[in-house]
A and B are shown apart, each in its own frame.
Chain A
Amino acid sequence: MTFVLDHIGLEAGGLRVIDDVSLTFEPGSLNVLLGPTLAGKTTIMRLMAGLDRPTTGRLLLDGRDVTGVAVRERSVAMVYQQFINYPSLNVYENIASPLRVARLGSAEIEARVREAARVLRLENLLQRMPSQLSGGQQQRTAIARALVKRAGLVLLDEPLANLDYKLREELREELPRIFSATGAILIYATTEPSEALLLGGFTVTLSEGRVTQFGPTSRVYRDPRRIEAARVFSDPPLNELAVVKRGDETRGADGRPLGRIEALAGRPDGDYRLAFRADAAGIGPPAPGALSFAGTVAVTELSGSESFVHADVGLGVWVCLVEGVHDWAPGQVVNLNIDPSRVFAFDSRGERVRQIHAAEVAA
């Protein structure tokens, strides 16, 4: 079934919480809602589930308007961040609950619950009560309940946020595999760009209740349409630089000459904003064709195979990623080389601007 959000808007307490969101989700697709806390991820999911009603706009299921349909009648399953289970029922009954309500035969319930328990490795925990389980086991139970229902729409609201780092890694790999077999539309909310990249599929970047971009995950990462989409999809944070373009000459906000920036080639003069991610910058002697900046090291953070160097270049503290273990002492001056081909340029309204090739200019 395809699920369409058509100009969905939500007002709460006089605030426009969700602002004109239109999205189409194809059957069997994995879609990541990526955005900081309070960006509207959970709100959109609650609207899709029918837990809340939109102020404006329609929800279409295979073309049928389901906006007013009560959540009970919808084929939807949801997993919350804080592993919600029924404390008074054991694991088996927790998983079987949607099937019990649908009044299926107990033989079929038994089979489907055992299968879901096998997939989520809960076989020997079926008689336990939720309070006796670890965080990971409780969340697996909640996921098993969502799986067993075979709903057309599965909503996962930051399901791994409260789990141990390593457990998160394992479940992140399992989840897409578990739900892909069911052909359901999977919606996965997260604040972590790395999680979106690992899950693949499609990504919707969200800021303050507005969709800034929707497309295949790697394309949204590599080709952001708006600066908010680039910011949301960067961990460590996006490095930014305000610039002024005069003819062929581009200067930093502090007047520092930056030479020719291809991305701005052929663009009208005016204020622009350049941005690049940590892995687009390296440290070393000024390389030809690269944008070089001298910066004093604030702090270096080693994370096993990579080192994140925070350097203050006068226009702000930028983070750059260096392969391997290199510990620059704070206060040391280093030279940052930025690969121009991986620098994004945005106009003053935050829209992405690209290099205009000679042919286009003429047309």
Chain B
Amino acid sequence: MIAKPINNRAWFFVLPVLGFVLFSSIVPTMTVVNYSVQDTMGANNFFWNGDQWFRDLLNPTTAIGQRFNDALFRTLAFSLTCLLVEIPLGIAVALCAPRKGWAVGPALVVVALPMLIPWNVVGTIWQIFTREDIGLFGAALTGLGLPYNVTQEAISAWTTIVVMDVWHWTPLVVLLSYAGLRAIPDAYYQAARIDGASRWAVFSKIELPKLQKVLVIAVLLRFMQTFMIYTEPFVVTGGGPGSATTFLSIDLDKIALGQVDLGNAAAMSLVYYLITLTVCYVFFTIMTQLERRRDV
């Protein structure tokens, strides 16, 4: 492994990327910061408001603080539930997927299909699918006598969104785990057979450790997407019933576009973004750790 040379002329290679991403991020971010530190009396005149919006936001006794707190915990609960279901399920399905032969190609394509559907269409599918009158899922549950009603009943709405997300994104974990499993050299399985390892030992002592890096990516991607989810729940429940499924993004949308309350919306956006930044930072350090160990 030849060490990477230092070459600052490489910046010319990176400038185009910098240009395109900056164009879409620098001005919007500045606008959000701008609004988050000002207040307006209407008719477009603004005055300095310091960190007042942030103090209200982070103080649960204020109305906006309370609302932000609820939305944040609702979203974190949703993310956590999805992760707890999708990661193990994804690994299990990857372990069962065909490894050799003709079936591999089609199997991967079919599994990946849900991820190819526009998010609003996913919402539409599940909106129809969960109706008691014309949806198989809705009809089946009500047929079993369960008090299942997406638009009225909080638990139903919440579980529907979770089931939809599991259906929509578990394939990502399946494909990631599958890629990780395929990279394990055959000699490891031969050695395990020789050592008389049980199927569980093979999984826990060979497959899981080797999946470590891929799972870190899976957890990051899944956490981020669930933490920022907007379109699908918005189509299926619109945040309802009440605020049962009003996740951070949906709440933010209501405050910004609905009530045109720019100050609060901007402060909330920034805090929301800072949370994603910290999670990214934690992930990035873990990834460079794993990368360095691979080179040693």
Q: A contacts B directly in the complex (CB < 8 Å)? A: yes
Q: Which residues of A contact B (CB under 8 A)?
A: 12-13, 46, 52
Cα–Cα, bound, A13→B6 (Å)? 12
- Specify the chain B residue showing the minimal Cβ separation from A46: B2
Q: Could you mark each residue 1-12 of chain B with 1 if its beta carbon is under 8 Å from any beta carbon of chain A, else 0? A: 011010000000
A52 and B6 CA atoms in complex are apart in Å by 11
Note all chain A residues with C-beta closer than 8 A to B5.
Answer: 52
Within 8 A of A (CB), among B249-277: none
Task: Give A52 to B2 CA distance when docked, in angstroms.
Answer: 11
Contact residues in B for A46 (Cβ distance below 8 Å)? 2
The docked-state distance in angstroms from the alpha carbon of A13 to that of B4 is 12
Question: For the side of the interface on B, what is the size category?
Answer: under 10
- Give Cα A13–Cα B3 distance, bound, in whole angstroms: 10
Tally of A-B Cβ pairs under 8 angstroms: 4
Interface residues of B in 1-31 (CB under 8 A from A): 2-3, 5
Q: Which residue of B lies closest to A42 (CB)?
A: B2
Question: Which residues in B have their C-beta under 8 angstroms from that of A52?
Answer: 5
Q: Which of chain A's residues have a CB closer than 8 A to the CB of B2?
A: 46
What 4 A-B pairs have minimum CB-CB distances, sorted nearest first? A12-B3, A52-B5, A46-B2, A13-B3
A300 to B2, CA, bound (A): 39
Question: What's the Cα separation between A52 and B7 when bound, in Å?
Answer: 12
Q: How far is the CA of A52 from the CA of B4 in the complex (A)?
A: 11
Distance A46 CA – B2 CA, assembled complex (angstroms): 10
A13 to B2 CA separation, bound complex (whole angstroms):
13
Inter-chain CA distance A12–B4, complex, in Å, is: 11
A-B contact list, 4 entries, CB within 8 Å: A12-B3, A13-B3, A46-B2, A52-B5
What residues of chain A lie closer than 8 Å to B3, measured between beta carbons?
A: 12-13
Across-interface contacts of A12 in B (CB, < 8 A): 3
Distance of A13 from chain B, by nearest CB (Å)? 8
A12 to B2, CA, bound (A): 12
Q: Bound complex: CA of A52 vs CA of B5, how far in Å?
A: 8
How many Å lie between the Cα of A44 and that of B265 in the bound state? Answer: 61
Within 8 A of A (CB), among B222-269: none
Segment 92-123 of B: residues with Cβ below 8 Å from A: none
Q: Which residue of B lies closest to A43 (CB)?
A: B2
Question: In the complex, what distance in Å separates the CA atom of A308 from the CA atom of B279?
Answer: 61
CA distance A279 to B2 in the complex (A): 38
- Chain B residues in 8 Å Cβ range of A13: 3
Interchain CA distance A52-B3 in the complex, whole Å = 11
Return A40 CB to nearest CB of chain B, in Å.
14
A52 and chain B: residue at smallest CB distance: B5
- For residue A13, which residue of chain B has the nearest CB? B3
Closest Cβ of chain B to A15, distance in Å, is 11
A261 and B115 alpha carbons, distance in the complex (Å): 83
Give chain A nearest CB distance to B120 CB in angstroms: 42
**Alpha-carbon gap, A242 to B2, bound state (A):** 39
CB proximity of B157 to chain A, nearest CB, Å? 54
Instruction: Give Cα distance in the complex from A92 to B154, angstroms.
Output: 70
Considering the complex, give the chain A residue whose CB is closest to the CB of B3. Answer: A12
A243 to chain B, nearest CB (A): 41
Q: How far is the CB of A52 from chain B (nearest CB, A)?
A: 7
In the bound complex, CA of A12 to CA of B5 (Å):
10
Residue-wise, chain B 129-151 has the 8 Å CB interface mask toward A (1 for contact) of 00000000000000000000000
CB distance from A17 to the nearest CB of B (A): 10
Residue of B nearest to A12 (CB): B3
Which chain A residue lies CB-closest to B5? A52
The smallest beta-carbon distance between A42 and chain B, in angstroms, is: 8
Chain B: minimal CB distance from A297 (Å): 34
* A315 to B3 Cα, complex, angstroms: 41
Minimum distance in angstroms from B10 CB to a CB of chain A? 16
Give CA–CA (A150, B114) in the complex, Å: 58
Q: How far is the CA of A105 from the CA of B5 in the complex (A)?
A: 36
> Shortest distance in angstroms between A47's beta carbon and chain B's nearest beta carbon?
13
Tell me, in angstroms, the Cα distance from A12 to B3 when the chains sit together.
9
Inter-chain CA distance A46–B5, complex, in Å, is 12
With both chains docked as a complex, state the minimum distance between the C-beta of A345 and any C-beta of chain B, in angstroms.
Answer: 40
CA of A46 to CA of B3 in the docked complex: distance in angstroms? Answer: 12
The distance from the CB of B3 to the nearest CB of chain A, in whole angstroms, is 7
A321 to B3, CA, bound (A): 41
Give the shortest distance, in Å, between A154 (CB) and chain B (any CB): 20
Please report the C-alpha to C-alpha distance between residue A12 and residue B6 in the assembled complex, in whole angstroms.
11
